[in-house]
Amino acid sequence: AQKITQTQPGMFVQEKEAVTLDCTYDTSDPSYGLFWYKQPSSGEMIFLIYQGSYDQQNATEGRYSLNFQKARKSANLVISASQLGDSAMYFCAMRGHNTNAGKSTFGDGTTLTVKP
């Protein structure tokens, strides 16, 4: 089994500041991948960033970085220099590579609001 927990239903951040969205996970697979997706109010799902469980370095993609702490089973998303267009719902997800291969599990999401 695998589970994703996002404990922040809503977050506010001032434009141009950085924000961290929390994600903790649990899985029985020794190898797995962690993902973050963005869902704007228009409803589409947009992939942001990926971290493999055996990757030595934290993943970065432009203004997005993933703070991966394997021992704590956390995979927090950091957005630097927030923009108004970052206002959206953000989902953490994982996919196991063994028992849970093929099953991408999502958290309940965090709604981020960027204030001007």
**Applying CB under 8 A, which residues contact other proteins?**
4, 6, 31, 33, 35, 37, 43-45, 47, 50, 52, 91, 93, 95, 97, 101-109
CB of 16 to other proteins, least distance (A): 28
CB of 1 to other proteins, least distance (A): 10
Shorter beta-carbon distance to other proteins: residue 26 or 108 = 108
Shorter beta-carbon distance to other proteins: residue 102 or 116 = 102
Residue 35 buriedness (CB in 10 A; 0-12 / 13-18 / 19+): buried
Q: Return the closest-CA partner of residue 109 out of 23, 16, 33.
A: 23
Q: Return the closest-CA partner of residue 25 out of 80, 79, 100, 89.
A: 100
Q: Return the closest-CA partner of residue 4 out of 100, 78, 87.
A: 100
CB of 47 to other proteins, least distance (A): 4
CB of 108 to other proteins, least distance (A): 4
Q: Return the closest-CA partner of residue 92 out of 28, 32, 24.
A: 24
Shorter beta-carbon distance to other proteins: residue 19 or 107 = 107
- How many angstroms separate the CA atoms of 110 and 47, rounded? 15
